[in-house]
Amino acid sequence: MTGSEFIAGIFPYIAVALCLLSTAWRFVRWLSLPPHVKWTLYPVPEGIAGQLKYMLKEMFTFETLYKFNRRLWFGSFSMHMAMVGAALFFILYLGGWSTIFVVQLCLLVLVIAAIYIIGLRIYDKNLRLLSNFEELFNLAFLGGVAALGFAASAPHVPGSLRLYFLGLIELHPNTSVLSTVHILAVFLGGLFLIYLPLSKMIHYVSKYFTYHHINWQKK
Amino acid sequence: MTKESEQSKSTDPKYPYRSEKLLPREERVVRFLETLQEVLGAKIYNLPLETYLGTCAKCNNCAEQCQVYQASRDPHDLPAWRSDLLRKVYKKYFTTSGKLFGGLVGAKALTEEDIDNMVDAFYRCTMCRRCGVNCPLAVDNALITRIGRVILERLGFVPSNMTVSTRAQLGEIGNTSAIPKAAFIDTLDFLEEELRDETGIAIPIPRDVEGAQFFFAAPVSDYIMEADTLLGIAKTFHAAGANWTVSTENFDAINYGLFYSDADLEKILNRLLEAAHSLKCKTIVIGECGHSTKTALLFQKVFGLSEYRGMEIKSVIEVSHRFFAEGKLMFDPTKNPETVTYHDPCNLGRGSGIYEQPRELLKAAVMHFVEMTPNRKMNYCCGGGGGLVVVEDLHDWRMSTAGLKKVEQLRATGAKLVCAPCANCKKQLRELIQAHKLDMQLVGLHDLLGKAIVLSGKT
């Protein structure tokens, strides 16, 4: 097995498995911590419906940032929505319900948003004071993955990304249809998946705990 | 050498108002890390600390929530920066990534200078929790401040006003103002006389009544400073026909442990719970005091002895509101013709969820009520929260910086009275009104209720 065959044929499964396992490990760890001091922050949204409404609104509008930190909101909201959009439309593309163009558009937005936030973190004196290497690295890593994904999905790049991913889902990845840029994109994407739950970007899980288990503890 | 002079000798001149029996500089780092490890091992903070310290995105949304930063515009008052002082240390010594990658992931080895910075920063935070309301990741910097202060106390950094008061409370006298029992009983007698003179009715302030439904404990400072509040509370209990009592042994609800020490918090809390338990009372009613209410509510199940954990804890505001909702209280609002605004004490609002009850009571008991803007969960701290109001050396800073947003808010209401049902807020707001020459007065909630309450056909 060549290095390319390993990266395209085996590594994606390892990356996905590690990502899921690490996420699950952190979720279970936080869930299994002993009862902590009641640190409710009032008001608590009424009932499960109220809490869901609050969370969904926050997740899909980034309302708190919108209200108080509009400059960062432009970048952060775009970046997160582009991330969700890229994943969603790529799945639709694989199913034949969308074109790769929409995925590319999302990836482009993702790249621009990451660059914008890096710029803001360097330009704004308070954000600069608060930011360390990790914040900038995370943004650069995400932007890099998106940029390589964008390049790999360009129409002029030979090979078929769609055929490859369909094969990957069916557990028979055809690595021969990939070009070098495809291989690089798969490799960097895999590394990002492994890194994601180990980094502070795990906030997609921690948020559940900080809201539901801490802020919204019942009386 | 007297105790007082010994104490001043041990005070480091670099930290005039925040040191007592200070640990030698070279021993601080080790003690700090030992205490942090102890706190992490204590379990009750694990989840909040791990999530708060591990995942803050440094979006700086908290900056625009913090009244201290908004007034000072000093980057060292950014809540995220302040919390990062502890976060860096936590990462360096307690996370794998921090141990492996150090500064690359924001970890930093602790130095004595870092401790100096923490002393300064954690005592410039009023622990109001406003920053937590609009944090996209629900990180609560106030808890990080509290943990920071708990650790610093073990190094000897703690405002002496707090520890002196706590020593008096935990000593033989049993209260933070060192009022002897006989003097306290005299005060109760005096209050009863006042009630009789004012209303023509004999309204008792029951003492040490075994089996009373409500065990009442106010911040002891109310017995010195806030007679009108206590008179109003006595009238309310009387009008509702409630079976209540105060303890002449343990009558002080103040718990400064909330601001710097779990150990002291636990002892003070259990003294209060024990007093109610010994009188076989099922419900503890805390007077107009935000931090006392929150402390009892939050920590009863964690630090309260097992035999005390079934007790119900209520703010006197909730109890009065319940009486009102049950039709037991009637008010004549013409007795309070001035325009009144309401200040949400942080520990009652964001900390205990008491937002609407005082408003409903006020609207029934005063002629003109105006809201302060912003209010409820977005209200600004008075500027003396987190126990800072008792630190006299911080007076000028509280007036010029921490309380500045509150002054703007108060001025904008045009109200003649600001109602604040919290002992600490009352002190800070009075000082702000005086320092900024505002044309208004400070009152407690039950001061107004007491004036308007209809008692047996009389008002």
- Which chain A residue lies closest to B44 (C-alpha atoms)? A36
Candidate from B78, B136, B138 with C-beta closest to A65: B136
Q: What is the pTM of this model?
A: 0.92
pLDDT digits (tens, 9 = 90+) for A10-51: 999 999 999 999 999 999 999 998 877 888 999 999 999 999
In chain A, whose CA is at the least distance from the CA of B56?
A: A200
> How many residues in total does chain B contain?
459
Torsion region of A115: left, alpha or beta (phi above 0 gives left; psi -120 to 50 gives alpha):
alpha
Chain A partners within 8 Å of B344 (Cβ)? none
Q: With a cut of 60, say whether residue A137 has pLDDT above it.
A: yes
Band (pLDDT 50/70/90 cuts) for residue A1 is confident
Can you tell me which residue has the tokens 């104490």?
Answer: B7
Q: What is the pLDDT of residue A217?
A: 86
State how far the Cα of B69 lies from the Cα of A92, in Å rounded to an integer.
Answer: 47
In chain A, the residue whose alpha carbon lies closest to the alpha carbon of B85 is A130
Computed over every residue of chain A, the mean pLDDT equals: 94
With an 8 Å Cβ cutoff, are B65 and A125 in contact?
Answer: no
pLDDT (tens digit per residue) in B399-429: 999 999 999 999 999 999 999 999 999 999 9
Percent of all residues in chain B with a pLDDT value above 70, rounded to a whole number: 97
Chain A environment of B139 (Cβ under 8 Å)? 210
Q: Is B135 helix (H, G, I), strand (E, B) or coil?
A: coil
Q: Does B80 touch chain A (CB under 8 A)?
A: yes
Q: What topology does CATH give the domain B176-325?
A: Rossmann fold (3.40.50)
The mean per-residue pLDDT over the stretch A58-72 comes to 95
Q: Per-residue pLDDT for A107 more than 50?
A: yes
Fold of B333-452: Rossmann fold (3.40.50)
CA A59/CA A67 separation, integer angstroms: 14
CA nearest neighbour of B82 among B52, B121, B47, B111: B121
- Residue numbers of chain B with a pLDDT score lower than 70: 1-11, 457-459
Contact A206 B137 (CB under 8 A): yes
Place of tokens 């790769």: A100
Please state, as a whole number, how many other Cβ atoms lie within 10 Å of the Cβ of residue B174: 22
What CATH code would you report for B3-158? Answer: 1.10.1060
B176-325 and B333-452: identical CATH topology: yes
CATH fourth-level superfamily of A11-26+46-212: Transmembrane di-heme cytochromes, Chain C (1.20.950.20)
Residue A186 above 80 pLDDT? yes
| Helix residue spans in A1-156 (DSSP H) | 3-9, 11-32, 47-61, 63-68, 70-95, 100-123, 125-130, 133-152
pLDDT tens readout for residues B338-362 = 999 999 999 999 999 999 999 999 9
Which residue bears the tokens 């106390």? Answer: B153
Residues of A in contact with B132 (CB under 8 A): 41, 215
**How far, in Å, CA of B352 to CA of A14, rounded?**
47
Chain B partners within 8 Å of A197 (Cβ): none
Residues B426, B420 contacting (CB under 8 angstroms): yes
Per domain, the residue ranges of chain B are 3-158, 176-325, 333-452
Enumerate residues 6+ apart whose C-beta is below 8 A from B124: B68, B76, B77, B82, B397, B402
- CB nearest B61 (choices: A41, A43, A65): A65
Give the B window 324-363 contacts with A, CB below 8 Å. 349-353, 355
Judged by a CB distance cut-off of 8 A, whether residue B50 touches chain A is yes
- Interface confidence, given as ipTM, is 0.91
Q: Closest by alpha carbon to A180, among A8, A51, A1? A: A8
Rg over CA atoms, chain B = 22
On the 0-12 / 13-18 / 19+ scale of CB atoms within 10 A, B330 is: middle
Rounded Cα–Cα distance for residues B194 and B202 (Å): 10
Residues of A in contact with B140 (CB under 8 A): 39, 41, 210, 214-215
| Per-residue model confidence (pLDDT) at position A219 | 56
Residue-wise pLDDT for A169-180, tens only, equals 999 999 989 999
Which residues of chain B have a CB within 8 Å of the CB of A76? 59
Q: Do A214 and B45 touch (CB under 8 A)?
A: no
- How far is it between the farthest Cα atoms of chain B? 76
How far are the Cα atoms of A28, A37, A38, A157, B131 from residue B299, in angstroms, in the given order? 26, 7, 7, 63, 22
Q: Are the beta carbons of B217 and B250 closer than 8 angstroms?
A: yes
Q: Do residue B46 and residue A36 have CB atoms under 8 angstroms apart?
A: yes
Q: How far apart are CA A175 and CA B299, in angstroms?
A: 59
The Cα B13–Cα B25 span in angstroms is: 13
As given in the structure block, the two tokens for residue B241 are 């026909």
